[in-house]
Amino acid sequence: MKLSEIAVKQIKGVGPKKAEDLEQLGIHTAQQLLEYFPFRYEDYRIRDLAQVADGEKATVEGKIYGTPSLQMYGRKKSRLTCKVVVNDVMVTAVWFNRHFIKDQLQPGETIVLNGKWDSRRQQLTVSEHEFPAKASRQGPRSGTLQPVYSVAGPISQAWMRKTIKTALERYGSYVEELLPEELLGKYKLISRKEAVAHVHRPDNFEDGRQARRRLVYEELFLFQLKMQAYRALNRGRTDGVAHALDMEAIRSFIRSLPFELTDSQKKVLAEIFRDLKEPYSMNRLLQGDVGSGKTAVAAVSLFAVVKAGKQGALMVPTEILAEQHKRSLEEMFAPFGIQVALLTGSLREKARRETLASLQMGLTDLVIGTHALIQEDVVFRSLGLVITDEQHRFGVNQRGILRSKGLNPDVLTMTATPIPRTLAITAFGDMDVSTLTELPKGRKPIKTYSVSHDMLPRVLGFIRKEVSQGRQAYVICPLIEESDKLDVQNAIDVHTQLAQHFPDLKIGLLHGRLTNMEKDEVMQQFKDNDVQVLVSTTVVEVGVDVPNATLMIVYDAVRFGLSQLHQLRGRVGRGAHQSYCILLADPKNEVSKERMKVMTETNDGFEIARRDLELRGPGDFFGTKQSGLPDFKLADLMSDYEILEKAREDAAALVQEPDFWTAARYLPLRDYLQQQQVFRAGRFD
Ligand code: ADP
Ligand code: MG
């Protein structure tokens, strides 16, 4: 019997109407019903009242003493009380709005009560009760753990319990095993059949725990198996470019850089080169804290590919960054005779056409632009490597767009925000991950202070002091959610105030409403120290590099997320001078206070990401944009991360085994991958 082929209406007690209601919950088959797991249990096991703490919810058993008394308030509201002797203690049981049960309460009868205990009043507010002597046909609740399902609309908790119980009794024995013996043995997991039965109907918490442990492992393992299968299939392809890297030339390019690469940069480059040389297409994520030197890694990788006769593209989130990268890459690449072109939305039509033509003919080796770069009508002669400097734009289907153009370049995605490992291996599970684990030597840690807005005069004094020593400052303006227009107004206001306060200084203004040329001009002036203080909205958030700036001031810092504050702070501390970050904040709640505390306590982006994840939870971590995180039924990324790690290792090892793709015992897993359409195409095709 195949559970996936049994429609819910075949289950006893499920009529056409209820079948429809179940379908509303996404439950169409007996299998889906049995896999509709409870999210917690109600504990109806009888406890000794002496063990129950004040305010706790518990189930106790007692004998009714005396007669109940009823007070009515209006027509429906009521309070019914009755004395009950529980474990030799006289307790007042209280029911609200259940006047109709008054006559059932007979002195001397045994009653089981579930409710909240108030030890001071010796009173139990009853939410459910049961008379063991006349337990319902479903069997007594008391003494058991009852599953609590997420139900909605016309489906009641009681109906769901009853229906799943019926389905289990009838079909439970047909639940098939999915996981191979070796994994069950390795973690001493119970069988799928047992797990499904116990997760709905545990005899005790330990049973429920074992069932959950097995099912969580399964859920995470299947997810990771899917990701690892994509990865393995991708690596098995030979339609990518096997670049013929000229290591001699690459070494001389690296020597020409104004600094020595960190060990971490070298290690990451070795990982990238290994991918570039192979005929599959690279699908790699490069993580590194702000200022860890991701751009240098990108530059060397692009150089390597261009030297091997292919074209490279660098995509960045903003035009300011595109301009900045173009300038710095041009400087690095010019001595090697490599052309760098810029392709952004604001390019004039003629210049644009020329650039497109020269890319198509292969006269341009390297192009830098915004994300539109690959989406528009751009034709490459031989695109070998695409690097994206992502902001938070995860899940963008770049690979799919490239493939649809008949291109299969190597792809390196750089993230500006450190991502805690659990989320990285979940959201980017099919990618290889490289991490820059150290900052270039000689960086002085940025000193961060969180001060109230009343301190503004002193903060202005601090700006004066830094500027008089030849340094520069950023002032980031308050963020108004959802309103670019108000943000701009804020920036204009702050700019006016600062210009009045510092009549002798040049104060720049940067916001999203300026034309690209205007933005560019202000950035250039700031770079040249013609502007000493730059007032800006968050357009400077990512990637801007002005090493002489040593002071970052953020107005109304509580309005910014932790990773955003860390990004903003990363704009300073890029040169030899001591840098400072001042957060103007008057936090009103604990979470805001905690965020400011985290910022002042650490400069480590990975630590900040970890604390951010704790404060916000996985769903929120990536912000409102598409997160790329799957919705797990049982697994919780925060508490089950150890299982996640194991599941990933196991899945990665399994897909490496030639056996996996042929042996009969792995058939259920291969069927699963088939259902998930893993074989049809890559994840992003
Ligand atoms: P991010 O990882 O935030 O993109 P960048 O690539 O902008 O960091 O690098 C930050 C700064 O560090 C730049 O000024 C860059 O020139 C410099 N830098 C990068 N690598 C090194 C290195 N190995 N040694 C010294 N400075 C470096
Ligand atoms: Mg960068």
pLDDT per residue as tens digits for the range 72-96: 988 889 999 999 999 999 999 999 9
Per-residue pLDDT at 483 exceeds 70: no
Per-residue pLDDT at 626 exceeds 60: no
DSSP conformational letter for 46 = B
CB-CB contact of 655 with 229 (8 Å): yes
**Of residues 133 and 642, more confidently modeled:** 642
> In whole angstroms, how far apart are CA 563 and each of 181, 303, 418, 419?
43, 31, 8, 10
| CATH numeric code, 447-606 | 3.40.50.300
**Of residues 631 and 409, more confidently modeled:** 409
* pLDDT at res. 456: 93
Mean pLDDT is lowest, of 224-233, 565-574, 612-621, for 612-621
Per-residue pLDDT at 395 exceeds 50: no
Domain 45-143 superfamily per CATH:
Nucleic acid-binding proteins (2.40.50.140)
User: How many other CB atoms are found less than 10 A from the CB of residue 637?
Assistant: 21
| Run of H or E residues at 374 | helix 372-375
**Of residues 324 and 684, more confidently modeled:** 324
CB-ligand 1 contact for 288 (6 Å cutoff): yes
Complete DSSP assignment for 72-106: EETTTEEEEEEEEEETTEEEEEEEES-GGGGGG--
User: How many other CB atoms are found less than 10 A from the CB of residue 627?
Assistant: 18
Among the listed residues 246, 59, 258, 22, the one whose alpha carbon sits nearest the alpha carbon of residue 154:
22
- Taking the centre of ligand 2 as the mean of its atom positions, its distance from the CA of residue 550, in whole angstroms, is 18
Mean pLDDT is lowest, of 62-66, 415-419, 474-478, 603-607, for 415-419
> What is the CATH architecture of 247-436?
3-Layer(aba) Sandwich (3.40)
* pLDDT at res. 480: 66
Q: What is the mean pLDDT of residues 566-590?
A: 92
Q: Which residues pair with 72 in a beta bridge?
A: 78
Distance CA 86, CA 114 (A): 12
- Taking the centre of ligand 1 as the mean of its atom positions, its distance from the CA of residue 6, in whole angstroms, is 60
Q: What is the mean pLDDT of residues 336-350?
A: 88
Question: By 3-state DSSP, what share of the chain in percent is helix, strand and coil, each rounded to 5?
Answer: 45, 20, 35
CB-ligand 1 contact for 296 (6 Å cutoff): yes
* pLDDT at res. 140: 60
pLDDT tens string 422-433: 888 888 888 899
- Taking the centre of ligand 1 as the mean of its atom positions, its distance from the CA of residue 554, in whole angstroms, is 23
Per-residue pLDDT at 392 exceeds 70: no
Per-residue pLDDT at 187 exceeds 90: yes
Per-residue pLDDT at 614 exceeds 60: yes
Q: Domain residues of the chain, as ranges?
A: 45-143, 247-436, 447-606
**Of residues 610 and 399, more confidently modeled:** 610
pLDDT tens string 101-146: 999 999 999 999 999 999 999 999 998 888 887 765 555 677 778 8
CB-CB contact of 126 with 68 (8 Å): no
Give the pair of three-digit tokens for residue 371.
């994300």
User: How many other CB atoms are found less than 10 A from the CB of residue 124?
Assistant: 27
Ligand 1: residue of 294, 437, 545 to mutate (most ligand atoms within 8 A of CB) is: 545
Distance CA 526, CA 505 (A): 12
Say if 45-143 and 247-436 have the same CATH topology: no
Ligand 1: residue of 256, 257, 292, 437 to mutate (most ligand atoms within 8 A of CB) is: 292
Angle 530-531-533 from CA coordinates, rounded to 5°? 155
pLDDT tens string 4-32: 999 999 999 999 999 999 999 999 999 99
Give the pair of three-digit tokens for residue 254.
């690296």
The 3-state secondary structure of 388-429, one letter per residue: EEECCCCCCCHHHHHHHCCCCCEEEEEECCCCCHHHHHHHCC
Distance CA 647, CA 226 (A): 11
Mean pLDDT is lowest, of 118-132, 222-236, 613-627, 630-644, for 613-627
The answer, as to whether pTM is greater than 0.75, is yes
Range ranked top by mean pLDDT from 145-154, 545-554, 618-627 = 545-554
Per-residue pLDDT at 556 exceeds 50: yes
Q: Which residues pair with 31 in a beta bridge?
A: none
Per-residue pLDDT at 543 exceeds 60: no
Which residues fall inside 5 Å of ion ligand 2, going by CB?
294, 543
* pLDDT at res. 511: 87
Positive or negative, the Cα torsion across 608, 609, 612, 614? negative
Distance CA 108, CA 247 (A): 92
* pLDDT at res. 167: 95
